[in-house]
Amino acid sequence: MGLKLLGKLAATLSIFGFMAMAAHAQEVIKIGLIAPFSGPYAQYGKQMEAGIKTYMKQHGEQIVGKKVEIITRDTMGPSPDLSRRLAQELVTREKVNFLAGFGFTPDGLAAAPVAQQSKTPMVIMNAAASNITTKSNFVTRTSMTIAQNAAPMGTWAAKNGFKRVVTLVGDYGPGIDAETYFKAAFSKGGGQIVEALRVPLGSPEMAPYIQRLKDAKPDAVFLWVPSGEHTVSFMKSYRERGLDTAGIKILGTGDLTDEQVLPAMGDSILGAVTTFHYSAFHDSPENKLFLKTFAEVNPKMGLPNFMAAAGYDGIAAIYEVSRKLGGKIDGEKAMAIFKGMKLNSPRGAIMIDPETRDIVQTIYVRKVEKVNGQLANVEFDKFPDVKDPGK
Protein backbone atom coordinates (compact mmCIF):
# COMPACT_ATOMS: atom_id res chain seq x y z
CA MET A 1 0.00 0.00 0.00
CA GLY A 2 1.47 3.38 -0.99
CA LEU A 3 2.31 6.09 1.47
CA LYS A 4 -0.26 8.40 -0.12
CA LEU A 5 -3.04 5.83 0.33
CA LEU A 6 -1.95 5.14 3.90
CA GLY A 7 -2.10 8.86 4.64
CA LYS A 8 -5.64 9.10 3.24
CA LEU A 9 -6.70 6.06 5.26
CA ALA A 10 -5.22 7.51 8.46
CA ALA A 11 -6.95 10.82 7.83
CA THR A 12 -10.27 9.07 7.24
CA LEU A 13 -9.91 7.00 10.42
CA SER A 14 -8.99 10.15 12.33
CA ILE A 15 -12.14 11.89 11.11
CA PHE A 16 -14.29 8.90 12.04
CA GLY A 17 -12.60 8.77 15.44
CA PHE A 18 -13.27 12.45 16.05
CA MET A 19 -16.90 12.01 14.93
CA ALA A 20 -17.29 9.03 17.27
CA MET A 21 -15.87 11.05 20.18
CA ALA A 22 -18.15 13.98 19.37
CA ALA A 23 -21.16 11.65 19.13
CA HIS A 24 -20.23 10.10 22.49
CA ALA A 25 -19.91 13.57 24.05
CA GLN A 26 -23.38 14.44 22.71
CA GLU A 27 -24.86 11.25 24.19
CA VAL A 28 -23.60 11.84 27.74
CA ILE A 29 -24.59 14.43 30.34
CA LYS A 30 -21.61 14.77 32.67
CA ILE A 31 -21.82 15.93 36.28
CA GLY A 32 -18.61 16.66 38.19
CA LEU A 33 -19.12 15.88 41.89
CA ILE A 34 -16.51 17.60 44.11
CA ALA A 35 -16.57 16.64 47.81
CA PRO A 36 -14.57 14.85 50.53
CA PHE A 37 -14.54 11.11 49.87
CA SER A 38 -11.64 10.24 52.18
CA GLY A 39 -10.33 11.45 55.53
CA PRO A 40 -12.37 12.54 58.57
CA TYR A 41 -15.13 14.12 56.47
CA ALA A 42 -15.48 11.26 53.96
CA GLN A 43 -19.14 10.79 54.89
CA TYR A 44 -19.93 14.20 53.36
CA GLY A 45 -19.14 13.05 49.85
CA LYS A 46 -20.39 9.51 50.38
CA GLN A 47 -23.78 10.75 51.60
CA MET A 48 -24.16 13.14 48.65
CA GLU A 49 -23.23 10.41 46.18
CA ALA A 50 -25.59 7.95 47.91
CA GLY A 51 -28.45 10.45 47.60
CA ILE A 52 -27.67 10.91 43.90
CA LYS A 53 -27.61 7.14 43.32
CA THR A 54 -30.94 6.84 45.13
CA TYR A 55 -32.60 9.33 42.77
CA MET A 56 -31.05 7.68 39.71
CA LYS A 57 -32.32 4.28 40.87
CA GLN A 58 -35.83 5.71 41.01
CA HIS A 59 -35.70 7.75 37.79
CA GLY A 60 -33.21 5.97 35.57
CA GLU A 61 -29.69 6.75 34.38
CA GLN A 62 -30.73 8.51 31.18
CA ILE A 63 -32.28 11.87 30.39
CA VAL A 64 -33.97 12.20 26.97
CA GLY A 65 -31.92 9.25 25.75
CA LYS A 66 -28.58 10.52 27.06
CA LYS A 67 -26.61 8.66 29.71
CA VAL A 68 -25.95 10.52 32.96
CA GLU A 69 -22.33 10.17 34.11
CA ILE A 70 -21.18 11.17 37.60
CA ILE A 71 -17.45 11.98 37.81
CA THR A 72 -16.26 12.22 41.42
CA ARG A 73 -13.28 14.20 42.69
CA ASP A 74 -12.00 14.03 46.29
CA THR A 75 -11.10 17.18 48.27
CA MET A 76 -10.27 15.06 51.39
CA GLY A 77 -11.69 17.83 53.59
CA PRO A 78 -11.86 21.63 53.43
CA SER A 79 -9.33 22.51 50.71
CA PRO A 80 -10.18 25.58 48.62
CA ASP A 81 -7.09 25.47 46.39
CA LEU A 82 -7.70 21.83 45.53
CA SER A 83 -11.42 22.45 45.00
CA ARG A 84 -10.65 25.19 42.50
CA ARG A 85 -8.14 23.02 40.61
CA LEU A 86 -10.55 20.09 40.50
CA ALA A 87 -13.35 22.31 39.19
CA GLN A 88 -11.03 23.68 36.50
CA GLU A 89 -9.98 20.17 35.49
CA LEU A 90 -13.55 18.92 35.31
CA VAL A 91 -14.61 21.85 33.16
CA THR A 92 -11.64 21.93 30.77
CA ARG A 93 -10.62 18.25 30.50
CA GLU A 94 -13.78 16.31 31.29
CA LYS A 95 -16.10 18.88 29.69
CA VAL A 96 -18.70 18.43 32.43
CA ASN A 97 -22.12 20.00 31.94
CA PHE A 98 -22.65 20.62 35.66
CA LEU A 99 -20.50 21.03 38.77
CA ALA A 100 -21.99 19.77 42.03
CA GLY A 101 -21.27 18.80 45.62
CA PHE A 102 -18.99 21.00 47.79
CA GLY A 103 -18.88 19.93 51.41
CA PHE A 104 -17.40 23.13 52.84
CA THR A 105 -17.97 26.83 52.25
CA PRO A 106 -14.31 27.62 51.37
CA ASP A 107 -14.46 24.94 48.66
CA GLY A 108 -17.65 26.34 47.17
CA LEU A 109 -16.30 29.87 47.22
CA ALA A 110 -13.09 28.75 45.51
CA ALA A 111 -14.91 26.94 42.69
CA ALA A 112 -17.52 29.66 42.01
CA PRO A 113 -15.21 31.78 39.78
CA VAL A 114 -14.55 28.70 37.63
CA ALA A 115 -18.30 28.27 37.15
CA GLN A 116 -18.65 31.95 36.33
CA GLN A 117 -15.86 32.01 33.76
CA SER A 118 -16.92 28.80 32.03
CA LYS A 119 -20.68 29.41 32.41
CA THR A 120 -21.06 25.97 34.00
CA PRO A 121 -24.10 25.52 36.28
CA MET A 122 -22.93 24.68 39.81
CA VAL A 123 -25.23 23.01 42.36
CA ILE A 124 -24.21 23.31 46.03
CA MET A 125 -25.18 20.20 48.00
CA ASN A 126 -23.91 21.20 51.44
CA ALA A 127 -21.65 24.29 51.80
CA ALA A 128 -23.85 26.65 53.78
CA ALA A 129 -22.51 30.22 54.07
CA SER A 130 -25.02 32.69 52.67
CA ASN A 131 -22.59 34.46 50.37
CA ILE A 132 -21.69 31.53 48.07
CA THR A 133 -24.53 32.16 45.62
CA THR A 134 -23.48 35.81 45.34
CA LYS A 135 -20.05 34.86 43.93
CA SER A 136 -21.32 33.61 40.57
CA ASN A 137 -24.48 33.90 38.49
CA PHE A 138 -24.09 30.18 37.76
CA VAL A 139 -24.40 28.91 41.36
CA THR A 140 -27.56 27.53 42.94
CA ARG A 141 -28.08 25.52 46.13
CA THR A 142 -30.27 22.57 47.17
CA SER A 143 -29.00 22.20 50.74
CA MET A 144 -29.46 25.11 53.16
CA THR A 145 -27.80 28.16 54.57
CA ILE A 146 -26.65 28.36 58.17
CA ALA A 147 -28.66 31.54 58.69
CA GLN A 148 -31.78 29.75 57.44
CA ASN A 149 -31.56 27.26 60.33
CA ALA A 150 -29.97 29.44 63.04
CA ALA A 151 -32.41 32.36 62.94
CA PRO A 152 -35.51 30.19 63.58
CA MET A 153 -33.68 28.58 66.52
CA GLY A 154 -33.14 32.04 68.05
CA THR A 155 -36.81 32.92 67.57
CA TRP A 156 -38.00 29.61 69.05
CA ALA A 157 -35.63 29.80 72.07
CA ALA A 158 -36.74 33.33 72.99
CA LYS A 159 -40.40 32.34 72.78
CA ASN A 160 -39.89 29.24 74.93
CA GLY A 161 -38.41 30.58 78.13
CA PHE A 162 -34.66 30.70 77.45
CA LYS A 163 -33.16 33.95 78.77
CA ARG A 164 -29.36 33.49 79.00
CA VAL A 165 -27.45 31.55 76.33
CA VAL A 166 -23.78 30.95 75.50
CA THR A 167 -22.97 30.50 71.81
CA LEU A 168 -20.21 28.04 70.86
CA VAL A 169 -19.40 27.91 67.14
CA GLY A 170 -16.70 26.90 64.67
CA ASP A 171 -14.39 29.85 63.97
CA TYR A 172 -15.00 30.19 60.22
CA GLY A 173 -17.69 31.53 57.87
CA PRO A 174 -20.62 29.19 58.62
CA GLY A 175 -19.99 29.18 62.37
CA ILE A 176 -19.87 32.96 62.47
CA ASP A 177 -23.08 33.05 60.39
CA ALA A 178 -24.74 30.73 62.91
CA GLU A 179 -23.65 32.91 65.83
CA THR A 180 -24.73 36.12 64.09
CA TYR A 181 -28.22 35.04 63.03
CA PHE A 182 -29.05 33.12 66.20
CA LYS A 183 -27.99 36.12 68.27
CA ALA A 184 -30.02 38.57 66.17
CA ALA A 185 -33.22 36.54 66.44
CA PHE A 186 -32.70 35.60 70.10
CA SER A 187 -31.89 39.18 71.15
CA LYS A 188 -34.90 40.48 69.22
CA GLY A 189 -37.06 38.16 71.34
CA GLY A 190 -35.53 39.50 74.58
CA GLY A 191 -32.77 36.90 75.12
CA GLN A 192 -29.20 37.65 76.26
CA ILE A 193 -25.97 36.17 74.89
CA VAL A 194 -23.81 35.64 77.98
CA GLU A 195 -20.63 34.71 76.13
CA ALA A 196 -19.64 33.98 72.51
CA LEU A 197 -17.05 31.19 72.12
CA ARG A 198 -15.36 30.25 68.83
CA VAL A 199 -13.53 26.96 68.21
CA PRO A 200 -10.77 26.57 65.56
CA LEU A 201 -11.92 24.41 62.65
CA GLY A 202 -8.91 22.11 62.81
CA SER A 203 -9.15 21.38 66.55
CA PRO A 204 -11.98 19.19 67.83
CA GLU A 205 -10.70 19.38 71.44
CA MET A 206 -13.64 20.91 73.29
CA ALA A 207 -12.70 20.62 76.99
CA PRO A 208 -11.40 24.21 77.51
CA TYR A 209 -14.51 25.69 75.89
CA ILE A 210 -16.82 23.41 77.86
CA GLN A 211 -15.30 24.65 81.14
CA ARG A 212 -15.88 28.30 80.16
CA LEU A 213 -19.41 27.38 79.20
CA LYS A 214 -20.02 25.72 82.56
CA ASP A 215 -18.60 28.69 84.46
CA ALA A 216 -21.00 31.07 82.66
CA LYS A 217 -24.03 29.14 84.06
CA PRO A 218 -26.41 29.86 81.17
CA ASP A 219 -29.84 28.35 80.57
CA ALA A 220 -28.52 26.74 77.40
CA VAL A 221 -25.70 26.57 74.89
CA PHE A 222 -26.34 27.27 71.21
CA LEU A 223 -23.89 25.03 69.36
CA TRP A 224 -22.74 25.06 65.74
CA VAL A 225 -19.66 23.06 64.76
CA PRO A 226 -19.02 20.83 61.72
CA SER A 227 -20.90 17.56 61.98
CA GLY A 228 -18.70 14.63 62.97
CA GLU A 229 -15.59 14.77 65.19
CA HIS A 230 -16.45 18.16 66.70
CA THR A 231 -19.97 17.20 67.74
CA VAL A 232 -18.88 13.88 69.27
CA SER A 233 -16.02 15.63 71.11
CA PHE A 234 -18.45 18.23 72.46
CA MET A 235 -20.84 15.61 73.83
CA LYS A 236 -18.00 13.67 75.47
CA SER A 237 -16.81 16.79 77.32
CA TYR A 238 -20.40 17.85 78.04
CA ARG A 239 -20.95 14.59 79.93
CA GLU A 240 -17.54 14.44 81.61
CA ARG A 241 -17.81 17.98 83.00
CA GLY A 242 -21.36 17.54 84.23
CA LEU A 243 -23.15 20.10 82.07
CA ASP A 244 -26.05 17.72 81.63
CA THR A 245 -26.58 17.43 85.41
CA ALA A 246 -26.05 21.21 85.78
CA GLY A 247 -29.19 21.71 83.70
CA ILE A 248 -27.54 23.50 80.76
CA LYS A 249 -29.74 22.64 77.78
CA ILE A 250 -28.44 22.09 74.25
CA LEU A 251 -29.81 24.13 71.36
CA GLY A 252 -28.46 24.07 67.84
CA THR A 253 -29.00 23.58 64.15
CA GLY A 254 -29.63 20.04 63.02
CA ASP A 255 -26.10 19.25 61.86
CA LEU A 256 -25.39 18.87 65.61
CA THR A 257 -27.70 15.86 65.87
CA ASP A 258 -27.03 14.39 62.43
CA GLU A 259 -28.40 10.83 62.27
CA GLN A 260 -24.92 9.61 61.33
CA VAL A 261 -23.38 10.74 64.63
CA LEU A 262 -26.30 10.45 67.08
CA PRO A 263 -25.38 6.91 68.19
CA ALA A 264 -21.87 8.06 69.16
CA MET A 265 -23.28 10.86 71.34
CA GLY A 266 -25.15 8.66 73.78
CA ASP A 267 -28.26 9.35 75.83
CA SER A 268 -27.01 12.67 77.21
CA ILE A 269 -28.06 14.24 73.90
CA LEU A 270 -31.69 13.35 74.73
CA GLY A 271 -33.80 16.50 74.90
CA ALA A 272 -31.53 18.58 72.66
CA VAL A 273 -33.62 20.89 70.50
CA THR A 274 -32.53 21.76 66.97
CA THR A 275 -33.92 23.53 63.94
CA PHE A 276 -33.27 21.89 60.57
CA HIS A 277 -34.65 21.19 57.13
CA TYR A 278 -34.34 17.38 57.05
CA SER A 279 -34.51 14.36 59.33
CA ALA A 280 -34.62 10.72 58.30
CA PHE A 281 -37.65 10.51 60.60
CA HIS A 282 -39.65 13.11 58.64
CA ASP A 283 -43.11 11.64 58.10
CA SER A 284 -44.11 11.90 54.43
CA PRO A 285 -44.71 9.49 51.50
CA GLU A 286 -41.76 11.02 49.62
CA ASN A 287 -39.39 10.43 52.53
CA LYS A 288 -40.61 6.86 53.09
CA LEU A 289 -39.88 6.06 49.43
CA PHE A 290 -36.51 7.82 49.71
CA LEU A 291 -35.56 5.75 52.78
CA LYS A 292 -36.65 2.50 51.13
CA THR A 293 -34.69 3.10 47.92
CA PHE A 294 -31.68 4.50 49.80
CA ALA A 295 -31.44 1.27 51.83
CA GLU A 296 -31.66 -0.83 48.66
CA VAL A 297 -28.96 1.12 46.82
CA ASN A 298 -26.69 1.77 49.82
CA PRO A 299 -27.22 -1.26 52.10
CA LYS A 300 -24.20 -0.60 54.36
CA MET A 301 -24.68 3.13 55.00
CA GLY A 302 -27.44 3.17 57.58
CA LEU A 303 -29.82 6.13 57.51
CA PRO A 304 -29.46 8.96 55.00
CA ASN A 305 -28.67 12.39 56.40
CA PHE A 306 -29.22 15.93 55.21
CA MET A 307 -26.35 15.70 52.70
CA ALA A 308 -27.97 12.67 51.08
CA ALA A 309 -31.24 14.61 50.84
CA ALA A 310 -29.42 17.56 49.25
CA GLY A 311 -27.70 15.23 46.79
CA TYR A 312 -31.04 13.65 45.93
CA ASP A 313 -32.67 17.04 45.37
CA GLY A 314 -29.63 18.43 43.56
CA ILE A 315 -29.65 15.66 40.97
CA ALA A 316 -33.46 15.99 40.73
CA ALA A 317 -33.00 19.66 39.81
CA ILE A 318 -30.28 18.76 37.27
CA TYR A 319 -32.57 16.14 35.68
CA GLU A 320 -35.38 18.68 35.47
CA VAL A 321 -33.15 21.27 33.79
CA SER A 322 -31.68 18.70 31.39
CA ARG A 323 -35.13 17.44 30.39
CA LYS A 324 -36.40 20.95 29.68
CA LEU A 325 -33.31 21.66 27.56
CA GLY A 326 -33.72 18.42 25.64
CA GLY A 327 -30.30 17.27 26.81
CA LYS A 328 -28.53 20.21 25.16
CA ILE A 329 -27.03 21.96 28.16
CA ASP A 330 -26.52 25.70 27.92
CA GLY A 331 -25.33 27.41 31.11
CA GLU A 332 -27.43 30.55 30.90
CA LYS A 333 -30.58 28.68 29.84
CA ALA A 334 -30.00 26.16 32.63
CA MET A 335 -29.79 28.88 35.28
CA ALA A 336 -33.02 30.44 34.00
CA ILE A 337 -34.77 27.10 34.56
CA PHE A 338 -33.31 26.63 38.05
CA LYS A 339 -34.81 29.98 39.12
CA GLY A 340 -38.24 29.42 40.63
CA MET A 341 -38.03 25.62 40.30
CA LYS A 342 -40.34 23.70 42.67
CA LEU A 343 -39.74 20.10 43.77
CA ASN A 344 -41.45 17.63 46.11
CA SER A 345 -38.49 16.59 48.23
CA PRO A 346 -38.09 13.95 50.97
CA ARG A 347 -37.93 16.97 53.31
CA GLY A 348 -41.16 18.54 51.97
CA ALA A 349 -41.89 21.11 49.27
CA ILE A 350 -38.86 23.17 48.21
CA MET A 351 -38.27 26.01 45.76
CA ILE A 352 -35.27 27.80 44.29
CA ASP A 353 -35.66 31.51 44.99
CA PRO A 354 -35.67 33.20 41.55
CA GLU A 355 -33.91 36.28 42.96
CA THR A 356 -31.09 34.67 44.97
CA ARG A 357 -30.89 31.15 43.42
CA ASP A 358 -30.97 29.83 47.00
CA ILE A 359 -33.38 27.30 48.46
CA VAL A 360 -36.69 28.16 50.15
CA GLN A 361 -37.90 25.43 52.51
CA THR A 362 -39.64 24.52 55.76
CA ILE A 363 -37.43 24.58 58.85
CA TYR A 364 -38.56 22.05 61.47
CA VAL A 365 -38.10 22.27 65.24
CA ARG A 366 -37.04 18.84 66.53
CA LYS A 367 -36.19 17.20 69.85
CA VAL A 368 -33.88 14.21 70.30
CA GLU A 369 -35.99 11.33 71.63
CA LYS A 370 -35.86 7.55 71.72
CA VAL A 371 -37.92 5.93 68.93
CA ASN A 372 -38.04 2.13 69.11
CA GLY A 373 -34.89 2.23 71.22
CA GLN A 374 -33.06 4.43 68.70
CA LEU A 375 -32.03 8.09 69.12
CA ALA A 376 -34.02 10.18 66.66
CA ASN A 377 -34.84 13.79 65.74
CA VAL A 378 -38.60 14.07 66.29
CA GLU A 379 -40.30 17.09 64.69
CA PHE A 380 -42.81 19.00 66.81
CA ASP A 381 -43.00 22.51 65.30
CA LYS A 382 -42.05 24.26 62.06
CA PHE A 383 -41.31 27.52 60.27
CA PRO A 384 -42.73 27.23 56.72
CA ASP A 385 -41.27 28.77 53.53
CA VAL A 386 -38.08 30.13 55.07
CA LYS A 387 -35.82 32.12 52.74
CA ASP A 388 -32.18 32.76 53.53
CA PRO A 389 -32.09 35.62 56.08
CA GLY A 390 -28.48 36.22 55.07
CA LYS A 391 -29.46 37.71 51.71
CATH architecture type of domain 11-144+283-357: 3-Layer(aba) Sandwich (3.40)
What was the pLDDT predicted at 204? 65
DSSP code for 132: G
Give the residue extent of every domain in the chain. Answer: 11-144+283-357, 147-276+364-386
What was the pLDDT predicted at 173? 81
Q: Is the model's pTM score more than 0.85?
A: yes
What is the layout of strands, in order, in the sheet containing 62-63?
Answer: 62-63, 66-74, 28-35, 98-101, 122-124, 139-141
What was the pLDDT predicted at 21? 42
Report the Cα 332 to chain-centroid distance in Å: 24
> Cβ distance 78 to 51 under 8 Å?
no
What was the pLDDT predicted at 26? 53
What was the pLDDT predicted at 203? 64
Fold for the domain defined by 147-276+364-386: Rossmann fold (3.40.50)
What was the pLDDT predicted at 22? 39
What was the pLDDT predicted at 263? 87
Per-residue confidence in pLDDT tens, the chain, 391 aa: 444 444 444 444 444 444 444 344 458 999 999 999 999 899 999 999 999 999 999 999 999 999 999 999 999 999 999 999 999 999 999 999 999 999 999 999 999 999 999 999 999 999 999 999 999 999 999 999 999 999 999 999 999 999 999 999 988 888 899 999 999 999 999 999 999 999 887 666 788 888 999 999 999 999 998 777 777 888 888 888 888 888 899 999 998 898 888 888 888 899 999 999 999 999 999 999 999 999 999 999 999 999 999 999 999 999 999 999 999 999 999 999 999 999 999 999 999 999 999 999 999 999 999 999 999 999 999 999 999 998 8
Q: For the chain, how far is it from start to end, CA to CA, in angstroms?
A: 70
Regarding beta strands 98-101 and 28-35, do their DSSP bridges make them parallel or antiparallel, or are they unpaired? parallel
CB atoms near residue 296 (< 10 Å): 10
Q: What is the 3-state secondary structure (H, E, C) of 180-241?
A: HHHHHHHHHCCCEEEEEEEECCCCCCCHHHHHHHHHHCCCEEEEECCCCHHHHHHHHHHHHC
